[in-house]
């Protein structure tokens, strides 16, 4: 008899514990227990918004020093001569998708100085007002460069041109190189 009571008490305790665990949470009818405030739902602060708890009261935070985004591959070339050996992983790929992305980033960042067709001195480019004109991308000189050299100039800059590594995402720079090759008449 005593063992029957112990078994029934154990079953009752187990069913009670199961009902407590299944009744809590988003799917149950009881709210979650929040042990530490703002851990389950942190206050949403937009990047340009005032943040009372931040040291400088800005919502935008600088990432910790030395951190890198996922999938980031550091650029290992320091000069254009060494970068000539850098191989284009999209070499010869002039598909609609590759050229569309290359066109987008070229139009936004490059065409202002190099012109819509890579001619540099077109009426709508700012190159006409520059003392040192940007090179014509369809010239024989630039056609003689390797894809790695063009990629290097986009990434690190050259002469009066600043680096575009922070403007054109790493995965799209090769597509810009392919678009420049397309302007030069390759892959047509």
Model pLDDT, residue 25: 47
Measured distance CA(91)–CA(151) in Å, rounded:
12
Measured distance CA(156)–CA(170) in Å, rounded:
12
Q: Where are the domains of the chain?
A: 88-183
Query: Encoding tokens for residue 94?
Result: 């002039």
Model pLDDT, residue 105: 96
Query: Encoding tokens for residue 142?
Result: 């630039």
pLDDT of residue 24 exceeding 70, the answer is no
Three-state SS across the chain?
CHHHHHHHHHHHHHHHHHHHHHHECCCCCECCCCCCCCCCCCCCCCCCCECCCCCCCECCCCCCCCCCCCCCCCCCCCCHHHHCCCCCCCCCCCCHHHHHHHHHHHHHHHHHHHCCCCCCCCCCCHHHHCCCCCCCCCCHHHHCCCHHHHHHHHHHCECCECCCCCCCCHHHHHHHHHHHHHHCCCCC
Q: What are 165-188's pLDDT values in tens digits?
A: 989 988 899 999 999 999 998 765
Model pLDDT, residue 104: 96
Task: Name the pTM for this structure.
Answer: 0.64
Higher pLDDT, 8 or 59: 59
Mean pLDDT of the chain: 81
Please measure the distance between the N-terminal and C-terminal CA atoms of the chain and give it in whole angstroms. Answer: 91
CATH 1.10.10.1150 holds for 88-183: no
Query: Encoding tokens for residue 65?
Result: 């020093």
pLDDT of residue 11 exceeding 90, the answer is no
Structural contact between residues 140 and 185, judged by C-beta atoms closer than 8 angstroms: no
Structural contact between residues 80 and 153, judged by C-beta atoms closer than 8 angstroms: yes
Q: What are 75-109's pLDDT values in tens digits?
A: 888 888 888 888 999 988 899 999 999 999 999 99
């Amino acid at each position: 008899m005593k063992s029957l009571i112990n078994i029934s008490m154990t079953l009752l305790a187990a069913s009670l514990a199961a009902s407590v665990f299944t009744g809590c949470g988003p799917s149950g009818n009881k709210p979650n227990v929040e042990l530490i405030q703002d851990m389950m739902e942190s206050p949403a602060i937009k990047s340009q918004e005032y943040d009372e708890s931040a040291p400088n009261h800005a919502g935008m935070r600088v990432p910790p020093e030395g951190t890198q985004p996922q999938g980031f591959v550091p650029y290992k070339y320091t000069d254009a001569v060494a970068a000539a050996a850098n191989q284009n992983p999209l070499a010869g790929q002039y598909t609609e998708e590759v050229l569309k992305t290359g066109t987008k980033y070229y139009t936004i960042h490059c065409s202002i100085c190099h012109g819509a067709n890579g001619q540099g001195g077109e009426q709508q480019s700012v190159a006409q007002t520059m003392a040192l004109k940007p090179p014509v991308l369809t010239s024989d000189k630039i056609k003689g460069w390797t894809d790695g050299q063009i990629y290097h100039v986009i990434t690190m800059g050259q002469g009066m041109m600043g680096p575009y590594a922070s403007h054109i995402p790493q995965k799209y720079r090769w597509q810009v190189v392919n678009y420049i090759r397309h302007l030069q008449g390759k892959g047509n």
